[in-house]
Every structure is written in structure tokens, then in C-alpha cells.
Amino acid sequence: MFFSFFFVLLTFIVPIFSIYMLPRVTIVWRPNVGKSSLFNIISGHKIAIISDQENTTRDIIEYELHDAENEISYVLADSGWLVYGNDESILQDVRVRVDEAIESSDIILFILEYDKITEFDEVIAKKLRKSHKTILLVANKADNKDRALESYNLLSLWFEDVFPTSPVQHRWIDALKIKIAEILKAEGYKYTLKDEEDTSLKLAIIGRPNVGKSSIVNAISWKTRSIVKDLPGTTRDAIDTLFTWNNEEFCLIDTAGIRRSGKIWSANIEQWSVLRAERSISRADVVAVVIDAFEWVAHQDQHIVSKALEEKKGIILVVNKWDKVLSKPDVWVDTILERYMRYLSKKFDFLSYVPVVFTSAIDGKRIDKILEHAIAIRKERNKRVKTGVFNQFLSQITYEHAPTGSRKSHKPKVYYWSQVDVNPPRFLVSVNNSDHFHFSYLRYMENKIREFFGFEWTPIDLELRSRKSMYKKWEEDSN
């Protein structure tokens, strides 16, 4: 009786999990067979880095794909490469990561070149057959019909069927997507696109190479999503990690390290990584700028902060590897923190409102402070002040300190202002002529806004908009 009840229970539970837990489709194979191009064309986004240089994709890149045309949803994963015979430790990490991706996958897209089977291909084919997973053999770079026909020679690897594809020509991709949908539907999966708006807190981890960004991501998310090695430039892709902390949904963006432009030449894929990192800053609500405490502040750290300020992002300054500083001989623990804060204030004199967190990512110390500050910053960035209250405040501060002009002949006037947007807080001030105002008065107004209404830890966008005179308006209308 117990077993019959258990069987009935499973018949209800399994379909529920099939609907709400997305299946996983992983792209696997050796370098330069076009995995990343195929990933981008299937997902419809330029997510994976494409380069002629071998071993470009190092991390497991994932994209939640909702294929409305074929009525199926799944996670598309572009794995690291599978290469055997290389003793580099970073390659070993990638192999372990790929093995885990294979184990967790529902479908594996086994990518080969349409006209080539190497010794490595045969080794990996044997490995995949032993996995007892659903394997779809994909013959990539089949840019015409002759190549597509030639690709059927790959059936010598003892797989049931072969799917020729050409991301460059956008050919035969639909047939592959239809086959994926058929397999997943047969297993009970469905189209599960969420209607609600994405409300996760987007936190980008940025910084120079080798400052510990990926270690911080791993410590926050409690799982090794990014490869961590003591090598500059290890993370080349921007990797999103979704998780929940204190009932708050986070989207953690681990970006590639930003290097000085002089060290990036046109043929180097690090140039593309820098663009991806800057794009990640644009996507984020809050940016955690990681610096190496042991190496002090470099000019590039200041440049990275400037990039985040240009985007008007909430900023957290994360001083990582603090344990190395405290372990140095002749360090006075009671005074080193105060001295370092004075040092930071000189290097970042324009960031008086930014919180500073001293972390040791390896030990996981004070990592939760980053998340606490991120939540507080987003709350401040979404704060809104009523227009009536704001104009009463305006009357008070202009009475205390009348606007100062840029010239004696110009008399600046402020008419009214209002908050027009949030995240970041944006204020529009109606004036007679914005050119008449001295820049110091803008700083005065911003300081007063923070004093009265808070808006801590976030940049404020304050815009002066000139009001056209009746005479100028009559001239424009007559023309």
C-alpha cells in the first residue's frame, strides 16, 4: 500500500518539477568548432565571446531561453572546452566543470566541424556515449548544401543522426531547435515564460585583473561559478549568477577584468572583454569596485570608478585581500584601518558618500556586508520625493543661499524643480538660464538634497533646464 501511494504521489510531483524546473541543453566540444557562434545564434544574443584564438570560452555561460515559436523553455549552456593531454591546472578546472555540465544536462549538443574528425573527437564521442545522455550530433560550419551532405560522414561516430548548421549563413538552425523542443516536450517540459518584470537587484563585480573578483562571486553565491586562479585575465566573459539572500533576489554579474587601453591590442580578445565589462556596468543597479589592498590603489582603479560614476551607478568600494595586509609584520591592527581610510579618501576624494567594505574573499569574511550595502543603496536609488515637498525645500535653501551667477551681469533665478526619475534619482530644475549658474551652486543644491532627504551611497543626476522667454518663443513661432 505504501509503494502504491508513493507511485501515485510521484505521478503528480514529477510533472510539477518538469514544468517549473527548466531543462538544460549544453554545447560541448573542442576549441574553434564554432560553439560560441552557435550559442549566440540560438540564444539570439551576443553573449559568448567569438574569437579565432583557441580556448576563448573558459566559464560555463548560461542563458534562459524561451522559444515561443516551438513552445519550449530551457537553459542553454556554453561549456568550457574539452581538451585532453594538457597538464595546465586551469585546463583541469575546465574539464571538471564540463564534466559537471554534462552530468546536469538533459541534452548535449556535440559540436564538430562538418568535414573533420580528430583523435580528440573520437575520445570525447566515447565519453559522451558512456554518459547515457541524449546526444545531438551537430555538424557546424556547413555553409552550403554540399557541406551539409558531406557532414553525414560524421555518423561514423555511431550517433543516431547529424544536424548540419551554419551560424554564419543562419542555415538549418531552426531544424536543430525543433528537435530540441521535440525531445524536451516528450520528457514533460513546457513553455514557462514568466510574465512578471525582472525585479532582481543587479550587482556587478568589477575591477582590475587578479584582484579577486571571481573569489568574491564564489563566496557570495556559495558555489564555484567562475574559475579562480592566480592569473590575470582568467575571467573573460560576463557571467550572471542568480541567487536569493535575506529574501532579496540578486543577479550577480562577474565581469572580465578591465585593463589599461595601452595593454589591449586590436587582435586581443581582452578588448572585447573590456567592452563586455563596461556593458555589464550599464546593466547593473549597483557596482562593487574591487581593489587589491595589498597592491594599494592604482590609476586603473580610479578609472574604473570613473566609468561607474559616468553611468550614475550606486558604488561600493571593496578592499579585498585585507587578510594579507593584516598579516604583514609590524602592522598595528588598531591603526591600520584608520590610516588606510585616510589613504582612500585622498585617492577617491569625490566619493565621500560611497561605503567601503574590507573583505577577505578566500575566508568569506565580511562578504555579506557587500550584499547589505547593495540592498540599502537600491532602496535609496528608488526613493521618490513629492513635488510639493520638494518645492518647499527649494524655497528654504534658495532663501538661505541665493543662486550665484557665473558673471556679475547675470542674475540666475530658480523657478521650481521636481524629481523626474529614480534609479538613479534624477532631478529637473527649471531656471531662467542654466549658463548663468556657477558650478558650485549645483554642488550646494546636491549637498542640501542629501542633507534633507538622504539619497545616501548613490550619485544624483541634477539637471538645470532653461525656461525660454516669451520673446524668444514668439520669434521661433514666427519663423
Of 35-39, 170-174, 447-451, the least confident = 35-39
Q: What percent of the chain has pLDDT over 90?
A: 11
Judge whether 417 and 430 are in contact, CB under 8 Å.
Answer: yes
| Model pLDDT, residue 438 | 81
What is the crossing angle of helices 213-221 and 367-381, to 10°?
A: 90
Judge whether 104 and 79 are in contact, CB under 8 Å.
Answer: no
| Model pLDDT, residue 297 | 83
Evaluated on CA atoms 79, 81, 82, 85, the torsion sign reads negative
pLDDT value at 223 more than 60: no
| Model pLDDT, residue 122 | 82
Average pLDDT over residues 329-351: 81
Tell me which of 304 and 72 has the higher pLDDT.
72
Tell me which of 393 and 50 has the higher pLDDT.
393
Integer-rounded Cα Rg, in Å, for the chain is 28
Pick from 104, 87, 80: nearest CA to 236: 80
Pick from 215, 260, 249, 220: nearest CA to 235: 215
pLDDT value at 266 more than 60: no
| Model pLDDT, residue 180 | 94
Tell me which of 251 and 222 has the higher pLDDT.
251
Average pLDDT, the chain: 75
Neighbours of 61 (CB within 10 A): 22
Tell me which of 425 and 55 has the higher pLDDT.
425
User: SS3 string of the chain?
Assistant: CHHHHHHHHHHHHHHHHHHHCCCEEEEECCCCCCHHHHHHHHHCCCCCCCCCCCCCCCCCEEEEEEECCCCEEEEEEECCCCCCCCCCHHHHHHHHHHHHHHHCCCEEEEEEECCCCCHHHHHHHHHHHHCCCEEEEEEECCCCHHHHHHHHHHHHHCCCCEEECECCCCECHHHHHHHHHHHHHHCCCCCCCCCCCCCCEEEEEEECCCCCHHHHHHHHHCCCCCCCCCCCCCCCCCEEEEEEECCEEEEEEECCCCCCHHHCCCCCCHHHHHHHHHHHHHHCCEEEEEEECCCCCCHHHHHHHHHHHHCCCEEEEEEECHHHHHCCCCCCHHHHHHHHHHHHHHHCCCCCCCCEEECECCCCECHHHHHHHHHHHHHHHCCCCCHHHHHHHHHHHHHHCCCCECCCCCCCCEEEEEEEECCCCEEEEEECCHHHECHHHHHHHHHHHHHHHCCCCCCCEEEEEECCCHHHHHHHHHC
Average pLDDT over residues 116-141: 84
Q: How confident is the model at residue 288 (pLDDT cuts 50, 70, 90)?
A: very high
Question: Each residue of 192-209: b (16+ CB within 10 Å) or e?
Answer: eeeeeeeeebbbbbbbbb
Q: Is 219 left (phi over 0), alpha (psi -120 to 50) or beta?
A: alpha
Rounded Cα distance between 406 and 414, Å, is 15
Tell me which of 272 and 157 has the higher pLDDT.
157
Average pLDDT over residues 101-107: 83
| Model pLDDT, residue 254 | 66
| Model pLDDT, residue 97 | 62
397: cell is 535653501
Average pLDDT over residues 45-53: 50
The per-residue pLDDT for range 136-168, each reduced to its tens digit, is 989 888 888 888 888 888 888 888 889 998 887
Of 231-235, 279-283, 369-373, the least confident = 231-235
**Greatest mean pLDDT range, 76-85, 93-102, 367-376:** 367-376
Average pLDDT over residues 91-115: 76
The per-residue pLDDT for range 351-402, each reduced to its tens digit, is 677 899 999 888 888 889 999 999 999 999 999 988 888 888 888 888 888 8
Tell me which of 210 and 11 has the higher pLDDT.
210
| Model pLDDT, residue 183 | 94
Give the CA count within 13 Å in the CB-facing half-sphere of 305.
Answer: 23
Of 55-64, 95-104, 243-252, the least confident = 55-64
| Model pLDDT, residue 365 | 85
| Model pLDDT, residue 275 | 61
Q: Return all residues near 219 (Cβ < 8 A) that are at least 6 apart.
A: 361, 362, 364, 367
Task: Please tell me whether the peptide bond between 31 and the residue prior to it is cis, using omega within 30 degrees of 0.
Answer: no
pLDDT value at 222 more than 50: yes
| Model pLDDT, residue 129 | 83
Amino acid (one-letter) located at 440: S
Tell me which of 98 and 218 has the higher pLDDT.
218
Q: How confident is the model at residue 197 (pLDDT cuts 50, 70, 90)?
A: low
The per-residue pLDDT for range 401-450, each reduced to its tens digit, is 888 766 655 678 888 888 989 988 999 888 888 888 888 888 888 889 98
Neighbours of 168 (CB within 10 A): 12
| Model pLDDT, residue 91 | 55
Q: How confident is the model at residue 230 (pLDDT cuts 50, 70, 90)?
A: very low
Judge whether 25 and 67 are in contact, CB under 8 Å.
Answer: no
Evaluated on CA atoms 100, 106, 112, 117, the torsion sign reads positive
CA 467, 468, 472: angle at the middle one, nearest 5?
170
| Model pLDDT, residue 28 | 80
